[in-house]
Structure 1
Amino acid sequence: MAQPWQAGLFGCLEDIPTCLLGWCCPCYLFGSNAQQIDG
C-alpha cells in the first residue's frame, strides 16, 4: 500500500539539485525518471 504524503509545502526545496533540474530542464528530469522506472 502507498505511504501517506510526508513532505511539507516547501519540501521540494530540501533537494536543491533536483529542484533546480526540474525547474530548468523538466524534459530531462522526466526522461531520467521514466528511464529509472522502466529499468
Structure 2
Amino acid sequence: MQFKIRFSDKDDVASYDPDKLLRIYENAEGKTPEEKINALM
C-alpha cells in the first residue's frame, strides 16, 4: 500500500485518485469509520 499526500491544489501527484480511494473506503468491511480503516490495513 502506498500513501500520497496532497498539500495544495497547485500540487499534482501522479496517480492520486480521490474517487477511487473513496470507493475503496466505502466498500471496506466494517460499520464504523475505525473498523473500515482497520480493515484496509
- The TM-score range, normalised by the shorter chain, is 0.3 to 0.5
Question: Given the two structures, how large is their TM-score scaled by the length of structure 2?
Answer: 0.35
Q: Answer 1 or 2: higher relative contact order, Cα 8 Å, separation at least 6.
A: 2
Question: Given the two structures, how large is their TM-score scaled by the length of structure 1?
Answer: 0.36
